[in-house]
Amino acid sequence: MLANASPTLLAILVAVTGLLWLLLRRQRAPEARNPSLPAERTASLPPEKYWSDGDSRFRTCFESSPDPAWILADGKFVACNAAAVKALGYSVCSEIADAHPSHLSPEVQPDGEPSHAKAERLMRQVEETGLERFEWMHRKADGTDFLTEVTLSRIMLDGRVALYSVWRDISERKRVEKDLQLASAVYENTADGIIITDPNGGIISINKAFTEITGYVLEEVRGKTPAVLKSERQEEGFYRQMWGILKGTGVWQGEIWNRRKSGEVFPEWLTISAVRSANGEVANYVGVFSDLSAIKRSQEDLERLAHFDPLTDLPNRILFRDRLTHAFERSRRYGHRVAVLLLDLDGFKIVNDSLGHPFGDRLLQLVAERVQQTVRVEDTVARLGGDEFALVISNLLHGEDAVEVARNLMAAIQVPFDIGGHSAHVTASIGIAVFPEDGEEPNTLIRNADAAMYKAKASGRNAYRFYQAEMTQAAQARLANERGLRRGIDNGEFEVWYQPQVDLASGRYLGAEALVRWRDPERGLVPPGDFIPLAEETGFIISLGELVLNRVCQDARRWLDAGMDVGRLGINVAGPQLYRSDFVATLRRALDTHRLPPDHLEIEVTETFMMENPAEVRRILNAIQAMGVTTAIDDFGTGYSSLASLKELPIDTLKIDRAFVTHLPDDPHDIAIARAILAMGRSLEFNVIAEGIETAAQREFLEAEGCAEGQGYFFAKPMPPEDFVRWLQARQELASTVPA
Ligand code: C2E
Ligand code: MG
Ligand code: MG
């Protein structure tokens, strides 16, 4: 605080003490400017004719006058005294005698009038009026200019008209005036209140800011002591101490509570300084203060912002953790349990996206209210962010007692909310962790409750779950996986396997799907289902996808060069890969690098992903097709695509998901679906291929229903490149020199 206030305070103090000093000095000024001139420095005098013997007394007066003076006749100096010679920096009067006044001046006067013309004008004027007083800029022998105040009068000397001029250097006075002006401008215009008292504390002067801050004008406080501002906030001892320091060091600085005229008590930052006169006694006290109420208020606002959620006014994560720590301390003392509940709304995103953010915000406020009404006042409810709320339930005998709280919360939230006539329906998933069993640190408890909440979500939502240690293990495994992925890419642990696709009627080889595998040195061969989702989340999918794409192009080129017909190779591309990288450019680069004809590649995109963002996907797929690469919709049947949207999309092949093939040909439901898909595929002129054909019966059924192509264990499992080549060679009866 001191560091903030001091530069301004310092400036004001300097100005105010300067003001007082100048006033004191001014009173003493006459004696300071009273040099007694030594007699021998009296200038030798010019033409004697102006002085008759009887004038010798006056001549002495003239010559020894402390104020510069001279006599002019016919526009020239005819006599000047020692003070004048000295003031102008000359040594003898004869040096300036006979000169015109303009010769001892700059060319032009400060008002812009040329010195010569102005001197002539003034001299003529005095001859008529008898007396003129004016300011004149003189120039010293060394060339420096200084401002003087001149009194020019007409006199008669020996029957002739002459001009008598007395003048004095006023440059110091001008400077002081300017300083005074400046000091008083600071005094009046500063935002800090200033109060000046006599040595007994009687108020002499206050500035405008004082009035603005306290509400008092000078008439109301003049002569009174600053005690008129006293609030009851400070003890007598405080003031005693303040005066002690002020008397001892001359300065006191600190925060003090005062009272405005309105009665309002307010904090101020005050500096009092004693101003001493020349003899060392305190002449005045100067108090400078700034109103701290605004700063205090914004400090409080900041405090609020830092600890409360502005939307719901509930404690935020920081305050929540704080409360949790306190609850743990109390619980340790009394041996009670503390439950941490994490509540996440199910379906909030849908409400928020479909009805708009203001609607979503209102819903969160209403949920906050309901949650608070459901628990006891002493329980803390916080909003951790988004649609996630957290509760501290303390004083529980058993951790299981939290179940009742969770059930009440779920029941309360299930009741539809009415928002401006709209009814919003959401449910809650709740995770519970109990202190001290599930952790002793706030962060551990929050994390564990979070893991339990995810379990509740995974169980189908609108449910609660207690934390179990295995959840941490799952989270740790995930972390290890993420680290492993990075290492796997760096160490080249990823392989691409190939699974053939055949013509159902003839069994002829048509192409293959490239499927990635991870050969983890610790875990062995890892299937893509175990790492693709994580790679998508973390962004690793971009580099992994590029790796697969290049590997396939490289393999295909090698096989083509060996004279094999590899047909069409399907490559799986994940959503984030299409969006987050410039996939089209990457694809073009891969084809160029390996000189692979584009019709050897087919890009597979899952149906779910396509439906998420049809416009963007259409743009990218169009670009892919334009390159000559074909496109396929993967796992078809799982993504609820509408027929209309399918027609719009640039798709060549439709891959029926394994889920609809597995139960063929016995399950009537799957039969119906398979038939529908095939009929649709035909009418939209898609190339249709069935995935996961494991039995002859499935193959037969699908062929009979008009499905042209198939892929599955029945024909061949995914194989590493060397096995795939052997499989292909056996089929195509190629020369045995083909490299793997
Ligand atoms: P998908 O594209 O639907 O691939 C077909 C999956 O079904 C493959 O599993 C394949 O091995 C398996 N499969 C094929 N025939 C049969 C069968 O007769 N019976 C059974 N039970 N399964 C069969 P995989 O290799 O585990 O791949 C799983 C998924 O991982 C793939 O599903 C694909 O979505 C994704 N994936 C694989 N490789 C990549 C890749 O390089 N990039 C991306 N982004 N995703 C990939
Ligand atoms: Mg696929
Ligand atoms: Mg598939």
CATH code of 519's domain: 3.20.20.450
Verify whether ligand 1 is closer than 6 Å to residue 239 (CB atom): no
| DSSP 8-state assignment for residue 295 | H
> Using one digit for the tens of pLDDT, what is the confidence trace for 281-301?
999 999 999 998 888 888 888
Largest CA distance in the chain: 155
What is residue 36's predicted lDDT score, i.e. its pLDDT?
A: 32
Parent domain of 413: 308-467
What is residue 42's predicted lDDT score, i.e. its pLDDT?
A: 33
Q: What angle do CA 85, 158, 131 make, to 5 degrees?
A: 60
What confidence tier does 736 reach under pLDDT thresholds 50, 70, 90? very low
Q: Does residue 263 sit in helix, strand or coil?
A: coil
C-alpha 671 to ligand 3 mean position (Å): 18
Torsion over CA: 675, 680, 685, 689 (sign) = negative
CA 362 to chain centre: 26
**Residue 539: count of CB within 10 angstroms of its CB:** 13
C-alpha 654 to ligand 1 mean position (Å): 15
What is residue 643's predicted lDDT score, i.e. its pLDDT?
A: 56
- Euclidean distance between CA atoms 462 and 345, whole angstroms: 9
Verify whether ligand 1 is closer than 6 Å to residue 528 (CB atom): yes
> Using one digit for the tens of pLDDT, what is the confidence trace for 409-444?
999 999 999 988 888 889 999 999 999 889 999 999
- Quick one: angle between helices 721-732 and 540-561, nearest 10? 30
Query: Would you state the structure tokens that stand for residue 33, as one six-digit string?
Result: 């400017």
Query: Would you state the structure tokens that stand for residue 450, as one six-digit string?
Result: 């979070």
Residue identifier of the C-alpha nearest atom 15 of ligand 1: 712
Average pLDDT, the chain: 86
pLDDT top residue among 638 and 585: 585
Verify whether ligand 1 is closer than 6 Å to residue 527 (CB atom): yes
Query: Would you state the structure tokens that stand for residue 597, as one six-digit string?
Result: 């004809």
User: Is 735 a member of any domain?
Assistant: no
Instruction: Answer yes or no: do 551 and 451 share one domain.
Output: no
Verify whether ligand 1 is closer than 6 Å to residue 102 (CB atom): no
What confidence tier does 576 reach under pLDDT thresholds 50, 70, 90? confident
Ion ligand 3 — residues with CB under 5 Å?
634-635, 691
Verify whether ligand 1 is closer than 6 Å to residue 656 (CB atom): no
Residue 332: phi and psi, rounded to 5, are: -65, -40
Residue identifier of the C-alpha nearest atom 27 of ligand 1: 528
- Is residue 10 predicted with pLDDT exceeding 90? no
- Is residue 619 predicted with pLDDT exceeding 60? yes
Verify whether ligand 1 is closer than 6 Å to residue 574 (CB atom): yes
CA 171 to chain centre: 53
Verify whether ligand 1 is closer than 6 Å to residue 379 (CB atom): no
AA identity, residue 114: P
Domains held by the chain: number:
4
Instruction: Answer yes or no: do 314 and 292 share one domain.
Output: no
User: Is 634 a member of any domain?
Assistant: yes
User: Is 736 a member of any domain?
Assistant: no
Verify whether ligand 1 is closer than 6 Å to residue 243 (CB atom): no
Verify whether ligand 1 is closer than 6 Å to residue 572 (CB atom): yes
Name every residue whose Cβ is closer than 8 Å to that of residue 544 and which is 6 or more positions away in sequence: 485, 489, 494, 516, 535
Name every residue whose Cβ is closer than 8 Å to that of residue 606 and which is 6 or more positions away in sequence: 574, 575, 633, 634, 635, 639
- Closest of 508, 528, 527 to residue 572, by C-alpha: 528
Q: Does residue 302 sit in helix, strand or coil?
A: helix
User: Is 700 a member of any domain?
Assistant: yes
Are 421 and 379 contacting, i.e. CB atoms less than 8 angstroms apart? Answer: no
Residue identifier of the C-alpha nearest atom 23 of ligand 1: 692
Lowest average pLDDT, out of 13-22, 383-392, 610-619, 669-678, goes to 13-22
Residue identifier of the C-alpha nearest atom 3 of ligand 1: 635
Instruction: Answer yes or no: do 261 and 322 share one domain.
Output: no
What confidence tier does 4 reach under pLDDT thresholds 50, 70, 90? very low
**Residue 255: count of CB within 10 angstroms of its CB:** 13
Verify whether ligand 1 is closer than 6 Å to residue 713 (CB atom): yes
Are 394 and 338 contacting, i.e. CB atoms less than 8 angstroms apart? Answer: yes
C-alpha 370 to ligand 3 mean position (Å): 45
- Euclidean distance between CA atoms 597 and 102, whole angstroms: 101
What is residue 34's predicted lDDT score, i.e. its pLDDT?
A: 30
C-alpha 658 to ligand 3 mean position (Å): 7
Got the DSSP string for 477-524? HHHHHHHHHHHHHHTT-EEEEEEEEEETTT--EEEEEEEEEEEETTTE
- Closest of 474, 578, 586 to residue 536, by C-alpha: 578
Per-position b or e across 133-165, b if 16+ CB within 10 A of its CB: ebebbbbeeeeeebbbebebebeebeeeebbbb
Query: Would you state the structure tokens that stand for residue 171, as one six-digit string?
Result: 């440059």
- Closest of 285, 260, 406, 258 to residue 341, by C-alpha: 406
Are 254 and 245 contacting, i.e. CB atoms less than 8 angstroms apart? Answer: no
Name all contacts of 132-141 with Cβ < 8 Å and 24+ positions apart.
135/110, 135/170, 136/105, 136/109, 136/167, 137/105, 137/106, 137/109, 137/110, 138/87, 138/88, 138/104, 138/105, 138/167, 139/104, 139/105, 139/106, 140/87, 140/88, 140/89, 141/88, 141/89, 141/90, 141/95
AA identity, residue 424: A
pTM for this structure?
Answer: 0.46
- Is residue 729 predicted with pLDDT exceeding 50? yes
Verify whether ligand 1 is closer than 6 Å to residue 712 (CB atom): yes
Verify whether ligand 1 is closer than 6 Å to residue 532 (CB atom): yes
Residue identifier of the C-alpha nearest atom 35 of ligand 1: 528
Residue identifier of the C-alpha nearest atom 11 of ligand 1: 718
**Which residue among 489, 497, 515 has the greatest number of ligand 1 atoms within 8 angstroms of its CB, and so is best to mutate?**
515
- Euclidean distance between CA atoms 630 and 569, whole angstroms: 10
- Is residue 472 predicted with pLDDT exceeding 80? no
- Is residue 190 predicted with pLDDT exceeding 80? yes
**Which residue among 580, 583, 691 has the greatest number of ligand 1 atoms within 8 angstroms of its CB, and so is best to mutate?**
691
Q: Does residue 542 sit in helix, strand or coil?
A: helix
Instruction: Answer yes or no: do 442 and 540 share one domain.
Output: no
- Closest of 233, 197, 192 to residue 214, by C-alpha: 192
C-alpha 684 to ligand 3 mean position (Å): 20
Instruction: Answer yes or no: do 264 and 360 share one domain.
Output: no
C-alpha 682 to ligand 1 mean position (Å): 25
Instruction: Answer yes or no: do 18 and 164 share one domain.
Output: yes
What confidence tier does 2 reach under pLDDT thresholds 50, 70, 90? very low
Q: What angle do CA 141, 146, 150 make, to 5 degrees?
A: 105
Verify whether ligand 1 is closer than 6 Å to residue 529 (CB atom): yes
Instruction: Answer yes or no: do 290 and 315 share one domain.
Output: no
Q: What percentage of the chain carries pLDDT values higher than 70?
A: 89
C-alpha 498 to ligand 1 mean position (Å): 10
Name every residue whose Cβ is closer than 8 Å to that of residue 676 and which is 6 or more positions away in sequence: none
- Euclidean distance between CA atoms 82 and 62, whole angstroms: 9
Atom of ligand 1 nearest to the CA of 718: 11
| DSSP 8-state assignment for residue 43 | P
Instruction: Answer yes or no: do 523 and 594 share one domain.
Output: yes
What confidence tier does 645 reach under pLDDT thresholds 50, 70, 90? low
Instruction: Read off the CATH number of the domain in which 281 is found.
Output: 3.30.450.20
C-alpha 690 to ligand 1 mean position (Å): 13
Verify whether ligand 1 is closer than 6 Å to residue 716 (CB atom): no
Query: Would you state the structure tokens that stand for residue 240, as one six-digit string?
Result: 């005693």
Lowest average pLDDT, out of 29-33, 185-189, 502-506, goes to 29-33
pLDDT top residue among 162 and 157: 162
Residue identifier of the C-alpha nearest atom 12 of ligand 1: 692
pLDDT top residue among 637 and 451: 451
Residue identifier of the C-alpha nearest atom 34 of ligand 1: 572
Verify whether ligand 1 is closer than 6 Å to residue 112 (CB atom): no
Helix (H) or strand (E) holding 622: helix 614-626
Ligand closest to CA 632: 2
For residue 408, count CB atoms less than 10 angstroms from its CB and return exposed for 0-12, middle for 13-18, buried for 19 or more. middle
Name every residue whose Cβ is closer than 8 Å to that of residue 561 and which is 6 or more positions away in sequence: none
Verify whether ligand 1 is closer than 6 Å to residue 635 (CB atom): yes
Residue identifier of the C-alpha nearest atom 46 of ligand 1: 572
> Using one digit for the tens of pLDDT, what is the confidence trace for 484-494?
888 898 899 99
Verify whether ligand 1 is closer than 6 Å to residue 718 (CB atom): yes
What is residue 3's predicted lDDT score, i.e. its pLDDT?
A: 38
User: Is 477 a member of any domain?
Assistant: no
Pairing of strands 145-157, 160-169: antiparallel
Verify whether ligand 1 is closer than 6 Å to residue 691 (CB atom): yes
- Euclidean distance between CA atoms 383 and 392, whole angstroms: 12
Atom of ligand 1 nearest to the CA of 535: 44
Name every residue whose Cβ is closer than 8 Å to that of residue 505 and which is 6 or more positions away in sequence: 703, 708
What is residue 483's predicted lDDT score, i.e. its pLDDT?
A: 82
**Which residue among 548, 569, 572 has the greatest number of ligand 1 atoms within 8 angstroms of its CB, and so is best to mutate?**
572
Q: What percentage of the chain carries pLDDT values higher than 90?
A: 56
Verify whether ligand 1 is closer than 6 Å to residue 694 (CB atom): yes
Instruction: Answer yes or no: do 531 and 638 share one domain.
Output: yes
What is residue 52's predicted lDDT score, i.e. its pLDDT?
A: 55
User: Is 474 a member of any domain?
Assistant: no
Residue identifier of the C-alpha nearest atom 33 of ligand 1: 572
Query: Would you state the structure tokens that stand for residue 647, as one six-digit string?
Result: 């027609």
Ligand closest to CA 574: 1
Verify whether ligand 1 is closer than 6 Å to residue 653 (CB atom): no
Instruction: Answer yes or no: do 451 and 509 share one domain.
Output: no
Residue identifier of the C-alpha nearest atom 37 of ligand 1: 515
Instruction: Answer yes or no: do 585 and 685 share one domain.
Output: yes
Instruction: Answer yes or no: do 196 and 332 share one domain.
Output: no
AA identity, residue 223: G
> Alpha-carbon Rg of the chain, whole angstroms?
49
User: Is 313 a member of any domain?
Assistant: yes
* CA end-to-end span of the chain: 77
Residue identifier of the C-alpha nearest atom 30 of ligand 1: 528
Mean pLDDT, residues 220-244? 91
Query: Would you state the structure tokens that stand for residue 113, as one six-digit string?
Result: 């009038």
> Using one digit for the tens of pLDDT, what is the confidence trace for 24-56?
444 443 333 333 323 333 333 444 445 555 567
Mean pLDDT, residues 178-185? 87
What is residue 18's predicted lDDT score, i.e. its pLDDT?
A: 54
C-alpha 15 to ligand 3 mean position (Å): 83
| DSSP 8-state assignment for residue 413 | H
- Is residue 197 predicted with pLDDT exceeding 50? yes
User: Is 62 a member of any domain?
Assistant: yes
Ligand closest to CA 495: 1
What is residue 112's predicted lDDT score, i.e. its pLDDT?
A: 93
